[in-house]
C-alpha cells in the first residue's frame, strides 16, 4: 500500500495545516480564558458592590427590628443576601433564588473572614457565586454577610462562546487545509510538469528542454535551469558518443575489410611464396593499424575515467624535446623537409617521460605529414614564469577556420575527404590534449612563425625550479626563423590550412 506521507504535497499541506491549527487553537483557548475571567470579574464586582450596599443598610438600621435587605444589585442582577448573627442564626435575608437552608452549610464554623472571600459552589438550585465577609451589626456585635449570585447565565454564555469558537476554529482549520492543499498543488505544478517532461525524454529527443517561465530567483526555476543544463551536457555527451562509436566502427572496419579482401583473394588459388609474403605483409600493416587504434582508444578511455595518472618524476624537458626531434630527423629527411629544434636548457619539471614522448611524437608526426617536400618543421621550447612552453610549427597548408573548433575532438580531420593512409585515425591531437591535461597543462592551436599551423603546449614546472636561461641549442641544417624569440613572437600570425589529426 502506498504511503500517502511520501507525497511532498501531503507533507507540505500537513505541516502548514497543523501549524495553523495550533495557532487557531491557542488563540481560541486564550480568547475563551479572557472571556471567562472577564465574566467572573464582573460577577465578583457586582457581589462586592452589593456587599457594600448591604453593610450600609445594616449599619443604618435600628437594633429593634430586622433590616430590609436589597434583593437585586444596582444593575438589576438577582443577588440573595443573608445576614447571620454571632451564633450563626439568620437575622435577615432577601432570598429570592435560594433558601438559607441551602446555604447554611457555607457559613464558616470559626467565623466569617474580615475581608471578602469569593468562591463558586453548586447548590440544589444551581451554580452560585458566593461572597463571605464580616459585618458590624446595629447592636455592636459582629455578624456575617453571605451573598449568593446565580451564575448559570454566565456559564451559559461561556458555553456559547466555546461552541462558537470551536465552530469558527474548525471552519478556519478546514479552510486552511483546503487552501494549503491548493497552494501546495500550485507550487508543485511546475515540478509535476518537469517530471512528466523528464519521463518522456529519451536518448532520441535530448534536445527537449523544460519550461523556464519562473523568476530567476525562484528555487523551482533554478531547478529547471539546472536540469536543462544537465540535458545540454547529456545531449552533447550522447552526440559525442554516437560520433565516437560511428567513427570507431569505421576506423576498425576499414582494416578488417582490407584484411578480409586480402585473405579472400589470396585463397582463391595457390600462390607463390613471394605472393604469400606480400599478402602477409599487407595483413601485418592492417593489424598494426588496428593495434594503434585500439591503443589510442584505450588511452583516451583511461583519460575519460580519470585513470590516466602520469608517473611523475624529475624530467629535463629540453633534453626530452631534443631526443624526440632527433628521432624524427630521418623521417623529415626522407620527405625532403627540414626539422629545426631550438630549446633553452637549464630547467626541469615533474612529468611522465613516456607520455610526454608520445605527445611530442604525435605533434611531430602531424606536422611532417602535412609539410610538403622542401618545407620546414620547427620545435621551440622555452620557460617563463614557472611554465614550459613547447611550440611545434610547420609550413603546410594550415587548418581551415571551420575545422579549428573541432581540432582536438576524436576522429576529427580537417579535411573529411582525407583517407586513413594520409590522415591517420584522427586520434593524435585528442591524445595530446589528454596527456597535457593529465600533467596540469594545455595545448592549443595558435598563429606561429611559419606559414602553417603552430601547436602550443604549456606544462607547469610543479615542484621544479625555474631555469637559468642559456643560449638556445640548435639542431638541423640551418637555424629556424624566430627560434630565439619570446613566446609571443613564437605565436606570430599565420594563414590557416586544411589539416587532420
- pTM attached to this predicted model: 0.48
CATH fold for domain 313-490? Heat Shock Protein 90 (3.30.565)
Query: For residue 84, what is its C-alpha cell?
Result: 447571620
Name the most confidently modeled range: 17-31, 56-70, 75-89. 17-31
The mean pLDDT value for 160-184 works out to 92
Query: For residue 204, what is its C-alpha cell?
Result: 532520441
Give the start-end residues of each E strand in 334-418: 338-343, 349-351, 376-384, 387-394
Q: What's the rounded Cα separation, in Å, for the pair 396 and 494?
A: 11
Please report the pLDDT score of residue 402 as a whole number: 78
Q: What's the rounded Cα separation, in Å, for the pair 116 and 118?
A: 7
| Percentage of the residues of the chain whose pLDDT score is greater than 70 | 83
Dihedral sign for Cα atoms in the order 20, 26, 27, 29: positive
Q: What's the rounded Cα separation, in Å, for the pair 167 and 173?
A: 10
Q: What's the rounded Cα separation, in Å, for the pair 332 and 338?
A: 6
Query: For residue 49, what is its C-alpha cell?
Result: 458592590
| Greater pLDDT, 454 or 499 | 454
Query: For residue 403, what is its C-alpha cell?
Result: 575545422
Please report the pLDDT score of residue 68 as a whole number: 61
Q: Give, as one character, the DSSP assignment of residue 371.
A: S
Non-local CB neighbours of 92 within 8 Å, separated by 6+ positions: 58, 66, 67, 68, 69, 81, 82, 83
Confidence at 74, pLDDT banded by 50, 70, 90:
low
The crossing angle, in degrees rounded to 10, of helices 428-438 and 353-369 is 150
To the nearest whole number, what is the mean pLDDT of the chain? 79
Please report the pLDDT score of residue 325 as a whole number: 92
| Percentage of the residues of the chain whose pLDDT score is greater than 90 | 20
Does the pLDDT value for residue 469 go beyond 50?
A: no
Does the pLDDT value for residue 201 go beyond 70?
A: yes
Confidence at 403, pLDDT banded by 50, 70, 90:
confident
Non-local CB neighbours of 403 within 8 Å, separated by 6+ positions: 412, 413, 414, 415, 498, 499
Q: Quick check: 314 and 356 in contact, CB under 8 A?
A: no
| Greater pLDDT, 474 or 355 | 355
Q: Is 499 left (phi over 0), alpha (psi -120 to 50) or beta?
A: beta
**pLDDT, tens digit (0-9, with 9 covering 90-100), for 410-454:** 666 554 434 444 445 677 788 888 889 888 899 998 887 887 889
Neighbours of 44 (CB within 10 A): 15
Please report the pLDDT score of residue 466 as a whole number: 37
Does the pLDDT value for residue 490 go beyond 50?
A: no
Q: What's the rounded Cα separation, in Å, for the pair 76 and 68?
A: 17
φ, ψ dihedrals at 80, nearest 5° = -85, 130
The mean pLDDT value for 139-167 works out to 90
User: Looking at the domain that runs over 219-304, which CATH code has it been given?
Assistant: 1.10.287
Does the pLDDT value for residue 25 go beyond 60?
A: yes
Q: Quick check: 486 and 358 in contact, CB under 8 A?
A: no
The mean pLDDT value for 323-333 works out to 91
- The helix/strand/coil state of 434 is helix
**pLDDT, tens digit (0-9, with 9 covering 90-100), for 345-389:** 777 888 889 889 989 988 998 889 888 888 899 999 998 888 899
| Greater pLDDT, 300 or 153 | 153
| Greater pLDDT, 498 or 223 | 223
Confidence at 72, pLDDT banded by 50, 70, 90:
low
Q: Please give the full DSSP string across 461-479, using - where no structure is assigned.
A: -TTSPPP---PPEEESSSP
Q: Is 88 left (phi over 0), alpha (psi -120 to 50) or beta?
A: left
User: Looking at the domain that runs over 9-157, which CATH code has it been given?
Assistant: 3.30.450
**Nearest in space to 21 (alpha carbons), one of 162, 173, 168, 184:** 173
Q: What's the rounded Cα separation, in Å, for the pair 252 and 425?
A: 10
Neighbours of 398 (CB within 10 A): 23
Does the pLDDT value for residue 343 go beyond 80?
A: yes
**pLDDT, tens digit (0-9, with 9 covering 90-100), for 26-51:** 999 999 999 999 999 999 998 898 88
Does the pLDDT value for residue 474 go beyond 50?
A: no
Please report the pLDDT score of residue 71 as a whole number: 58
The mean pLDDT value for 395-409 works out to 80
Please report the pLDDT score of residue 37 as a whole number: 93
Q: Any long-range contacts for 317-320 (C-beta under 8 Å, 24+ apart)?
A: 317/347, 317/348, 317/349, 317/351, 317/356, 317/381, 317/388, 317/390, 317/459, 318/343, 318/344, 318/345, 318/346, 318/347, 318/381, 318/473, 320/353, 320/356, 320/357, 320/360
Beta-sheet pairing, 80-84 with 387-394 = unpaired
Please report the pLDDT score of residue 412 as a whole number: 67
Q: Please give the full DSSP string across 52-91, using - where no structure is assigned.
A: HHHHHHHHHS-TTS-----SB-TTS-B-EEEEE-TTS-EE
Q: What's the rounded Cα separation, in Å, for the pair 355 and 438?
A: 9
Q: Please give the full DSSP string across 219-285, using - where no structure is assigned.
A: HHHHHHHHHHHHHHHHHHHHHHHHHHHHHHHHHHHHHHHHHHHHHHHHTTS---HHHHHHHHHHHHH
Gyration radius of the chain's alpha carbons: 52
Residue-range domain boundaries for the chain: 9-157, 219-304, 313-490
Query: For residue 366, what is its C-alpha cell?
Result: 602531424
Please report the pLDDT score of residue 477 as a whole number: 36
Beta-sheet pairing, 454-460 with 387-394 = antiparallel
Please report the pLDDT score of residue 384 as a whole number: 86
Does the pLDDT value for residue 396 go beyond 70?
A: yes
Confidence at 471, pLDDT banded by 50, 70, 90:
very low
Name the most confidently modeled range: 62-66, 254-258, 419-423. 254-258
The mean pLDDT value for 311-325 works out to 89
Q: Which of 111-115, 157-161, 342-346, 476-480 has the lowest mean pLDDT?
A: 476-480
Amino acid at each position: 500500500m502506498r504511503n500517502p506521507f511520501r507525497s511532498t504535497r501531503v507533507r507540505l499541506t500537513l505541516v502548514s495545516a497543523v501549524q495553523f491549527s495550533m495557532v487557531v487553537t491557542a488563540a481560541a483557548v486564550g480568547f475563551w480564558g479572557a472571556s471567562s475571567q472577564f465574566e467572573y470579574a464582573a460577577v465578583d464586582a457586582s457581589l462586592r458592590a452589593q456587599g457594600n450596599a448591604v453593610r450600609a443598610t445594616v449599619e443604618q438600621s435600628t437594633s429593634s427590628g430586622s433590616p430590609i435587605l436589597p434583593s437585586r444589585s444596582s444593575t438589576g442582577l438577582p443577588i440573595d443576601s443573608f445576614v447571620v448573627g454571632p451564633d450563626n442564626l439568620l437575622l435577615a435575608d432577601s432570598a429570592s433564588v435560594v433558601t438559607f437552608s441551602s446555604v447554611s452549610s457555607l457559613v464558616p464554623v470559626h467565623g466569617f473572614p474580615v475581608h471578602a472571600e469569593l468562591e463558586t459552589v453548586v447548590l440544589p438550585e444551581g451554580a452560585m457565586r458566593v461572597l463571605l465577609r464580616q459585618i458590624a451589626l446595629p447592636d455592636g456585635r459582629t455578624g456575617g454577610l453571605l451573598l449568593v449570585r446565580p451564575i448559570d447565565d454566565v456559564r451559559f454564555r461561556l458555553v456559547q462562546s466555546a461552541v462558537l469558537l470551536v465552530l469558527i476554529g474548525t471552519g478556519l482549520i478546514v479552510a486552511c487545509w483546503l487552501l494549503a492543499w491548493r497552494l501546495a498543488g500550485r507550487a508543485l505544478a511546475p515540478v509535476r510538469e518537469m517530471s512528466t517532461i523528464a519521463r518522456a525524454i529519451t536518448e532520441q529527443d535530448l534536445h527537449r528542454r523544460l519550461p523556464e517561465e519562473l523568476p530567476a530567483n525562484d528555487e523551482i526555476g533554478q531547478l529547471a535551469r539546472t536540469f536543462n543544463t544537465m540535458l545540454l551536457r547529456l545531449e552533447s555527451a550522447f552526440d559525442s558518443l554516437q560520433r565516437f562509436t560511428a567513427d570507431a566502427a569505421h576506423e576498425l572496419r576499414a582494416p578488417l575489410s582490407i584484411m578480409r579482401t586480402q585473405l579472400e583473394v589470396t585463397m582463391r588459388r595457390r600462390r607463390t611464396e613471394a605472393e604469400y609474403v606480400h599478402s602477409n605483409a599487407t595483413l601485418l600493416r592492417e593489424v598494426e593499424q588496428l593495434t594503434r587504434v585500439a591503443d589510442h582508444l584505450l588511452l583516451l578511455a583511461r583519460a575519460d575515467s580519470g585513470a590516466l595518472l602520469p608517473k611523475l618524476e624529475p624530467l629535463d624537458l629540453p633534453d626530452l624535446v631534443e631526443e624526440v626531434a632527433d628521432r624524427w630527423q630521418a623521417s623529415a629527411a626522407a620527405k625532403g623537409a627540414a626539422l629545426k629544434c631550438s630549446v633553452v636548457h637549464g630547467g626541469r619539471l615533474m612529468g611522465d617521460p613516456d607520455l610526454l614522448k608520445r605527445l611530442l611524437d604525435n605533434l611531430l608526426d602531424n606536422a611532417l605529414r602535412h609539410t610538403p617536400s622542401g618545407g620546414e618543421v620547427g620545435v621551440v621550447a622555452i620557460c617563463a614564469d614557472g611554465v614550459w612552453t613547447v611550440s611545434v610549427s610547420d609550413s603546410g597548408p594550415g587548418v581551415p577556420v571551420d575545422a579549428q573548433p573541432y581540432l582536438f575532438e576524436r576522429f576529427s580531420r580537417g579535411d573529411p575527404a582525407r583517407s586513413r593512409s594520409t590522415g591517420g585515425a584522427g586520434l593524435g591531437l585528442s591524445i595530446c590534449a589528454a596527456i597535457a591535461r593529465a600533467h596540469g597543462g594545455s595545448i592549443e592551436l595558435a598563429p606561429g612563425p611559419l606559414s602553417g599551423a603552430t601547436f602550443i603546449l604549456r606544462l607547469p614546472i610543479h615542484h621544479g625550479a625555474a631555469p637559468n636561461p642559456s643560449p638556445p641549442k640548435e639542431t638541423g641544417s640551418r637555424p629556424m626563423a624566430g627560434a630565439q624569440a619570446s613566446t609571443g613572437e613564437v605565436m606570430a600570425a599565420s594563414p590557416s590550412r586544411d589539416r587532420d589529426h
